[in-house]
Amino acid sequence: MAIEIERKYLINQNKWDNFPKPEGQLFRQGYILKDPEKTIRVRVTDTTAYLTIKGASIGATRTEFEYEIPKEEGIELLDNFAVSELSKIRYKIPHINKLWEVDVFLGNNKGLIVAEIELDSEEEYFELPEWISIEVTGDNKYYNSNLSANPFKNW
């Protein structure tokens, strides 16, 4: 079974603004199914697309199955089957032997920035970058599927 163990954090805006970043990648993603027990997501980047199926979260862990699909099919799925959608720029930041993915949200979620780290176990030790602020793992309002329907601007 494919398992994802992920923790989420908000960032310190001032420290993030002053942090040197690599080039980000634009993501357009939408949800074909959004249910507390499972989601089906389509994500399109500049070069490819992915179909992802995720199970319910238990702590920081959930099942995840992800498949690369042709970009054209991803766009067609988003345009014709997604019930909600969002866009963001993702930055991949290495920090002390770990990869952080920082999502700078666009559109109705503009102003929200969330950092994620994938782990091998929920108990795994890691060091936080200086630009990390508050942990929001398990807070459903920060799930991308929820942000696509209840965006940050409405909070």
31 catalytic per annotation: yes
Catalytic residue among 31, 91, 142, 143: 31
Q: pTM (2 decimals)?
A: 0.94
Computed on alpha carbons and rounded to an integer, the radius of gyration of the chain in Å comes to 15
Parts of the chain with a pLDDT under 70? 1
Domain-wise residue ranges, the chain:
3-154
- Judge: domain 3-154, CATH 2.40.320.10: yes
